[in-house]
Structure 1
Amino acid sequence: MISIEDYTSHTLVIKKSEFVCHLIPCSQIEQANDMITKYSDPQATHNCVAYIIGPHERAYDDGEPSGTAGMPMLNVLKMQGLTNMIAIVTRYFGGIKLGAGGLTRAYSQSVAEALKVAHIVEKELVDLYNITVDYTYTRKLEHLLKVHHIKCIDIQYQEQVSYQCYLRNLDFLDMIQDFTNNQFQAEKIGSDYIPKDV
């Protein structure tokens, strides 16, 4: 699965109109509307949207002539084989009309140029676990996380210490079981697409 690693933006100016492309990684369709709201500017002339998230696709012209914005943007994502991402192009009208052909070129070019500066990576679906250990085991666990290149996205220090980590191989839990004498908890709390080299 090919997608972008991080949020990326790029600005293009065509005949005094400013086109700001926002590329947002997103693997949960339930999050799409929140992301679109977050990165759209209500003060702009248009916020046109294209996304591919799993089997879901959307192209939205936001008031531009039908078929001149969302579909050209979506086609750029498809041609590059990308998925699990949202493209929003925010347009600030500069006073010069571009015509249907000019709009189609502007919106597709805006996405294409943003993709040139984005970091495109291959991602895979990996399970996310919450691993909880006593404070006495944290140094050993953190050493193992580092040695095995395991990505942690959160650590909570309470009565015990909880690590939210992506685990490709559940043998890692056997290692924790060994050095803690089974004094730990591990719970699968979800899964997400993360870059293969992370």
Structure 2
Amino acid sequence: MISVEEYTTHTLVIKKSEFVCHLIPCSQVEQAKALIEQYSDPQATHNCVAYIIGPYERAYDDGEPSGTAGMPMLNVLKMQGLSNIIAIVTRYFGGIKLGAGGLTRAYSQSVAQALKEANIVEKEPVDLYEIIIDYTYTRKFEHLLKMHHIKCIDIKYEEQVTYQCYIKQTDFFNHIQELTNNQFKTHKIGTDYMRKDV
């Protein structure tokens, strides 16, 4: 699966209209609405959207003439073979009308140029686990995470310590078992797409 590695933005000015393209990685369609709201500017003339997330595709013109914004943006994403990506082009109208052909070109170009700036990477699904251990093992456990290049996104210190970690190889749990004399708990809490190691 090919997508953008991280959030990328690019601005294009055509006949005094400003087109700001936001490229956002997103692997859960349920998150799309919140991300679109977050990166859309309510003060702008239009916030046009195209996304491909797994099997879901969407194109939205947001008041531009039908078919002049969302679909051309979606086509650029498809031609590049991208997935798990949201493209939002925010337009600030500059007072000069572009016509249907001009709009189609402007929105396509905006996404295409932003993609040139973006870091396009191959991603793979990686499971996110919660790992719960006693305080006595934290130092050794954190050393183990470093040794195996495991990404942790959250640590909670309560009665025990809870780590949220992306685990690619489940044989890592054998190391935790050894380290803690099997005194640990774990369960899978989700899956995300992460950059594939070359």
Percent identity among equivalent residues? 80
**Structure 1 residue aligned with 2:124:** 124
Q: Secondary structure at the match of 1:94?
A: coil
Which amino acid counterpart does residue 92 of structure 2 have in structure 1?
A: Y
Residue segments in structure 1 that go unaligned for 5+ positions in a row? none
Which whole-Å deviations, capped at 9, do the CAs of 1:15-57 have from their partners, x for residues lacking one? 0000000111111111111111111111111110000000000
**Structure 2 residue aligned with 1:195:** 195
Q: How does 1:85-104 map to 2 (within 5 A)?
A: 85-104=85-104
- Larger CA deviation: 154-163 vs 85-94: 154-163
Q: Secondary structure at the match of 2:10?
A: strand
Partners of 2:170 and 2:33 in 1: CA distance: 34
Partners of 2:57 and 2:129 in 1: CA distance: 29
Moved over 4 A (4+): none
Q: How does 1:133-144 map to 2 (within 5 A)?
A: 133-144=133-144
**Structure 2 residue aligned with 1:171:** 171
Which amino acid counterpart does residue 188 of structure 1 have in structure 2?
A: K
Q: Secondary structure at the match of 1:110?
A: helix
Q: Secondary structure at the match of 2:173?
A: helix
Q: Does 2:28 align with 1:45?
A: no
Q: CA deviation at 1:5?
A: 1.3
Partners of 2:129 and 2:101 in 1: CA distance: 49
Q: How does 1:139-158 map to 2 (within 5 A)?
A: 139-158=139-158
TM-score (norm 1): 0.97
Partners of 1:156 and 1:7 in 2: CA distance: 27
Which whole-Å deviations, capped at 9, do the CAs of 1:104-128 have from their partners, x for residues lacking one? 1100010011111111111111111
**Structure 1 residue aligned with 2:8:** 8
Query: Considering only aligned residues, what root-mean-square deviation do their CA atoms show, in Å?
Result: 1.0
Partners of 1:159 and 1:196 in 2: CA distance: 35
Partners of 2:121 and 2:149 in 1: CA distance: 17
Residue segments in structure 2 that go unaligned for 5+ positions in a row? none
Partners of 1:58 and 1:106 in 2: CA distance: 19
Q: How does 1:25-104 map to 2 (within 5 A)?
A: 25-104=25-104
Partners of 2:118 and 2:137 in 1: CA distance: 39
Q: Secondary structure at the match of 1:142?
A: helix
Q: Secondary structure at the match of 1:42?
A: coil
Q: CA deviation at 1:197?
A: 2.4
Partners of 2:100 and 2:14 in 1: CA distance: 14
Partners of 1:49 and 1:57 in 2: CA distance: 10
Q: How many correspondences in the alignment?
A: 198
**Structure 1 residue aligned with 2:182:** 182
